[in-house]
Amino acid sequence: MYDVVIIGCGVIGASAAYELSKYKLSIAVLEKENDVACGATRANSAIIHAGFDPKPGTKMARLNVLGSRMMGELCEKLSVEYSQIGSLVLAFTEKEMECVRELYERGGKNQVPGLRILTRDEVLQIEPNVNVEVIGALHAPTAAIINPWGLCLALAQNAKINGVDIHLNSEVVRISNKGGHYHVETTSGAYDTRYIVNAAGVYSDKVSDMVAEPFFRITAVKGEYYILDKSQGDIVNYVLFQTPSSVGKGVLIAPTVHGNLIVGPTSEPTADPEDTSVSYRGLEEVVKKSMRLCARISFKESIRNFAGVRAMGGDDFILEASAPNFINAAAIKSPGLSSAPAIALEICDLLKENGLDLIEKDSHTLYKKKPLFKNMRPDEQKKVLELDRRYGRVICRCETITEGDIIEAIKAPVPPVSIDGVKRRCEAGSGRCQGGFCAPRVHEILSREMGRAMESICQGKAGSYILTGKTKTPGGGAV
Amino acid sequence: MERYDLAIIGAGPAGLAAACAAYENGARKIVVIERDREAGGILNQCIHNGFGLHHFKEELTGPEYAQRFIRMVKETDINLLLDTMVLKVTQDKKLHIMNPQDGYKIVSAETVILAMGCRERTRGAIGIPGTRPAGVFTAGAAQRYVNIEGYMVGKRVVILGSGDIGLIMARRMTLEGAKVLACIELMPYSNGLSRNIVQCLDDYGIPLFLSHTITEIKGKNRVEGVCVQKVDKLGKPIPGTEINFDCDTVLLSVGLIPENELTRETGIEIDHRTRGPVVFENMETSVPGIFACGNVAHVHDLVDYVTAEGFRAGAAAARFCQNQIPAYDSKRVTTFKCGDNVSYAFPQHIRPEGINKYAELFFRVKRPVINAVIELKSGNEVLCSYKRNHMAPGEMEKIIIPKEALETADGLLTISVAGE
């Protein structure tokens, strides 16, 4: 019997697991995919919003500002890439300037620190590549960029070494209320638990429906993005936003923590919550709308397009019980990532309110990822090379990722099982050649270290097989 | 610090040829640095024949062609450093290198030859709409899996792009038992060599769809199909022309990009047309004593030309080490400008002191032409003209320019191609 079962291991589920792992509780996280961070957490703008956008008085406003304040320290502690570069909401018309002033007011009410309205000259001075027709901007110095899947992974790794069970490939299919506890059936086995935290993202309504009368619905909204080569990474210094409209914050431009440039997203409801396809129309829209902010981006330097699906539902986050001892953390759309650490605290409070005793453990172990070889100081590099020669073998040439880095990722508490899993943990294959050269090498290392046949290693999710068999054997390639 | 006369980055055909030529021309302390576990570069996975017709006057497979040079290098005391990555090259020719045996170290060289080759354009670079399942490979990555690792990457294949590697892979996948459904080319002509169209597609009955492109990749976890559409003159898909293919694999052969990240970081001038370093007639880059050859300088279609370029760079580096450099007059440099229907010219500059009676100029046309007339002009004056029956972007062209023509020019020559 678990005390708490968390459904979904995106950044919300992982944040809750990490926070709850500080208490004397037995906890499990159930994740339907073969890795953590497979939903909205791995496909979003990778931004920590300052918090001037949500309507004052909402949970979103309060948790965004608190989350944003907690994030820097958390990332420092867990070695997650994070950089507080600040954001600018650019205005090009007097009407948009009015919106900037409104956001400034709202930000004040939300207690966002350091907001300033900049004049055209001030904007052009700190951000010389923006469209010169800019007339002013809102500067939010606390906005930041982050590695979102890196955060989720670090939280999950830390939860794991502090006793949380992470059950992957475990899609919840049925939950029954056994009067006093829940019986959760998954595709990998059944678990009994006293409390449930529903952090199932785009599926959170379906999960809630398993135990309660339907009381919220999730709409999946797709956003398409471009990732550009590092040659474009320093075109802008800040996160650049348009003035927001009714459909969201619009297309933004931002450097990424890895030195690339991210441009997007579009915003389009999709019937299939896992539809992460990109379209001509969507990509064109991203290019067109970004041009208004900054026309100097060379989209020829694109290295990847992707789409993420956001879980929308109502005007605010849903953080409440829909059945006894069943807490929803649902409709966590933007600024969900920014709010994640604060949402985790809120979940703890809700569990407490529902009668769960939170008694702090005497000690909590910190798991800190070893820095990548390329990010080590020369003396650290020398030391690590003496201990393990595999750090001297560069596998991913675009990102200078060594065999030692890849093995370190594979040996972590929550190990990767796929080529994409390795990429998310140590950047191998995330560069301009997109794994063209290194994927077969990473594949070989994964197969060797995991003791699994090459043919059984997937690109990403279960079923995304890469190889059909050996050559010169029946069935290998023969039709 | 270890000191070398010459450090060559890359042991593919360009680097190996450069090493041989440098040794023959008197350079002695030579190191060839290769990031892969074997020398030979991409030739090792090119197990088909057709290599060496110009250079050896016989048809070899890729590994055989590479082996001839590896053997030549091994007969000398050239140091071949495998499994070693060059992380940085400075303008004063210090190379930061790393491998599992020696760890991280810095070596210095009197001259450097860049021979890092090129990489393939990917799906992300061309933005193919649709889902992102497994089963989309660059043709070269698939070639490595099939020919070196011994694994099949799929059973029903559609190839996007008719570059040479894609064509070769169409044949390879067929021979290995897969069904290649189609080869799809955006342009109204193929970018591959004509002989490859015949030998790799026509001979196996694989249809080539010109002026078509993949407009959607389908499938959740693994490719389940693609939608192909005809495109108009601007390359835009035409509604109503959709053809669906039921396939599990997409191979991309959509262009090669010289791999010049190291070059850029060193501060060497890059030509935006070739995407390689700007070089002189002896393959010297904008940094004296640093040379470049092979696909890192511009993408070739025949390895024989890569070898020739390697020889030229190697010999020039050897002369540089031995202080046998002519006194160049910077006022007499000829620069080439691309006129009508020329996408690039190579080398970018020629110094008359660096050539004997003739200079060779390589270039590509932008569009195919027949009954072509190539003109080399100084202002409005035509200095030389050449005729070709047929020219296509996929086939690199070479013209021979007499030294006098260069000397009469005022430093800028325009090359253009007219025809039908």
The pLDDT score that the predictor gives to residue B330 is 84
Catalytic option among A49, A139, A258, A443 = A49
Report the CATH number at residue A235. 3.30.9.10
Could you tell me if A355 and A433 lie in one domain? no
Structure tokens at B312: 């030229």
As a whole number of angstroms, the distance between CA B70 and CA B139 comes to: 25
User: Could you write out the DSSP letters of every residue in A372-409?
Assistant: PGGGS-HHHHHHHHHH-GGGG-EEETTTTEEHHHHHHH
As a whole number of angstroms, the distance between CA A149 and CA A409 comes to: 14
Look up the pTM and report it. 0.95
Report the CATH number at residue A60. 3.50.50.60
Residue where a domain terminates, one of A339, A368, A397: A368
Query: Does B176 sit within 8 Å of A472, measured CB to CB?
Result: yes
Q: What is the pLDDT of residues A232-282, one digit of tens each?
A: 999 999 999 999 876 677 999 999 999 999 999 999 999 999 999 999 999
- Judge whether residue A478 has pLDDT over 60: no
Query: Does A303 sit within 8 Å of B149, measured CB to CB?
Result: no
Could you tell me if A225 and A303 lie in one domain? yes
> In whole numbers, what is the pLDDT of chain A averaged over residues?
96
**A466 located within any domain:** no
Provide the β-strand partners of residue A125: none
As a whole number of angstroms, the distance between CA B172 and CA B148 comes to: 13
Which residues are within 8 A (CB) of B124 and not within 5 positions of it... i.e. 6 or more apart?
A: A227, A302, A303, A304, A305, A434
Could you tell me if A65 and A129 lie in one domain? no
The pLDDT score that the predictor gives to residue B409 is 76
Q: What is the pLDDT of residues A83-106, one digit of tens each?
A: 999 999 999 999 999 999 999 999
Contacts of A444 in chain B (CB under 8 A): 149
Q: What is the pLDDT of residues A412-426, one digit of tens each?
A: 999 999 999 999 999
Could you tell me if A356 and A377 lie in one domain? no
CA angle (A160, A163, A169) in 5-degree steps: 50
CA distances from A276 to A147, B131, B134, B171 (A): 19, 6, 14, 33
> In whole numbers, what is the pLDDT of chain B averaged over residues?
96
Q: What is the pLDDT of residues B76-94, one digit of tens each?
A: 999 999 999 999 999 999 9
Q: A58 — contact with chain B (CB < 8 Å)?
A: no
The pLDDT score that the predictor gives to residue A307 is 97
The phi and psi torsions of B327 (rounded to 5 degrees) equal -80, 105
Q: Note whether B134 and A280 are within 8 A (CB).
A: no
As a whole number of angstroms, the distance between CA A85 and CA A89 comes to: 14
Could you tell me if A245 and A178 lie in one domain? no
**A461 located within any domain:** no
Could you tell me if A212 and A133 lie in one domain? no
Q: Note whether B55 and B81 are within 8 A (CB).
A: no
- Judge whether residue A475 has pLDDT over 70: no
Which residues are within 8 A (CB) of A95 and not within 5 positions of it... i.e. 6 or more apart?
A: none
Bridge-based pairing state of the strands A326-330 and A318-323 = antiparallel
Q: What is the pLDDT of residues A353-404, one digit of tens each?
A: 999 999 999 999 999 999 999 999 999 999 999 999 999 999 999 999 999 9
As a whole number of angstroms, the distance between CA B59 and CA B52 comes to: 6
Q: What is the pLDDT of residues B318-351, one digit of tens each?
A: 999 999 988 898 888 999 999 999 999 999 999 9
The pLDDT score that the predictor gives to residue B193 is 86
**Structural domain span for residue A255:** 82-144+219-312
As a whole number of angstroms, the distance between CA B334 and CA B409 comes to: 8
Cβ pairs bridging A and B (under 8 Å): 152
**A470 located within any domain:** no
Residue where a domain terminates, one of A270, A292, A312: A312
The phi and psi torsions of B401 (rounded to 5 degrees) equal -110, 125
Contacts of B262 in chain A (CB under 8 A): none
**A264 located within any domain:** yes
DSSP state, B238?
P
- Judge whether residue B204 has pLDDT over 70: yes
Please say if A167 is a catalytic residue: no
Provide the β-strand partners of residue A184: A175, A191
Could you tell me if A197 and A318 lie in one domain? yes
**A467 located within any domain:** no
Q: What is the pLDDT of residues B99-137, one digit of tens each?
A: 999 999 999 999 999 999 999 999 999 999 999 999 999
As a whole number of angstroms, the distance between CA B73 and CA B24 comes to: 11
Q: Sign (positive/negative) of CA torsion B367, B373, B379, B383?
A: positive
As a whole number of angstroms, the distance between CA A72 and CA A69 comes to: 7
The pLDDT score that the predictor gives to residue A333 is 94
Report the CATH number at residue A429. 1.10.10
The pLDDT score that the predictor gives to residue B159 is 98
How far apart, in Å, do the first and last CA atoms of chain B sit?
Answer: 59
Residue where a domain terminates, one of A312, A331, A347: A312
Which residues are within 8 A (CB) of B206 and not within 5 positions of it... i.e. 6 or more apart?
A: B170, B174, B180, B181, B182, B183, B200
Q: Sign (positive/negative) of CA torsion B24, B25, B29, B31?
A: negative
Structure tokens at A455: 């043919």
The pLDDT score that the predictor gives to residue A247 is 64
Q: Which residue has the tokens 């976890």?
A: B221
Q: Note whether A153 and A162 are within 8 A (CB).
A: no
Contacts of A404 in chain B (CB under 8 A): none
Q: What is the pLDDT of residues A137-195, one digit of tens each?
A: 999 999 999 999 999 999 999 999 999 999 999 999 999 999 899 999 999 999 999 99
As a whole number of angstroms, the distance between CA A212 and CA A215 comes to: 8
Could you tell me if A200 and A333 lie in one domain? yes
DSSP state, A341?
H
The phi and psi torsions of B273 (rounded to 5 degrees) equal -80, -50
- The minimal CB distance from A464 to the residues B133, B144, B149 is found for B133
Could you tell me if A8 and A66 lie in one domain? yes
Banded pLDDT at A477 (limits 50, 70, 90): low
Q: Note whether A226 and A288 are within 8 A (CB).
A: no
The pLDDT score that the predictor gives to residue A476 is 64
Could you tell me if A62 and A175 lie in one domain? yes
Helix (H, G, I), strand (E, B), or coil: what is residue A210? coil
Could you tell me if A397 and A422 lie in one domain? yes
DSSP state, A465?
B
**A352 located within any domain:** yes
Contacts of B124 in chain A (CB under 8 A): 227, 302-305, 434
Closest residue in A to B118 (Cα–Cα): A433
The percentage of chain B sitting over the pLDDT mark of 90, rounded to a whole number, equals 92
The number of distinct structural domains making up chain A is 3
Q: A469 — contact with chain B (CB < 8 Å)?
A: yes
As a whole number of angstroms, the distance between CA A403 and CA B49 comes to: 34
Query: Does B150 sit within 8 Å of A467, measured CB to CB?
Result: no
Could you tell me if A128 and A152 lie in one domain? no
Q: What is the pLDDT of residues B361-417, one digit of tens each?
A: 999 999 999 999 999 999 999 999 999 999 999 899 999 999 988 887 788 999 999
As a whole number of angstroms, the distance between CA A282 and CA A288 comes to: 10
Q: What is the pLDDT of residues B144-201, one digit of tens each?
A: 999 999 999 999 999 999 989 999 999 999 999 999 999 999 999 998 888 899 999 9
Q: A479 — contact with chain B (CB < 8 Å)?
A: yes
**A469 located within any domain:** no
Give me the torsion for CA of B271, B160, A440, B129, rounded to 10°: 90
Structure tokens at A182: 């829940």
As a whole number of angstroms, the distance between CA B214 and CA B221 comes to: 18
**A440 located within any domain:** yes
Q: Using CB atoms and an 8 Å cut-off, which of residues 382-441 of chain A contact chain B?
A: 382, 385-386, 389-390, 392-394, 397-398, 400, 403, 432-437, 439-440
Q: Residues A37-44: what's their mean pLDDT? A: 96
User: Could you write out the DSSP letters of every residue in A125-191?
Assistant: HH-TTS-TT--EEEEETT-EEE-HHHHHHHHHHHHHHTT-EEE-S--EEEEEE-SSSEEEEETTEEE
Residue B220, burial from CB neighbour count under 10 angstroms (0-12, 13-18, 19+): middle
Conformational region of residue B314, where left means phi above 0, alpha means psi within -120 to 50, and beta covers everything else: alpha
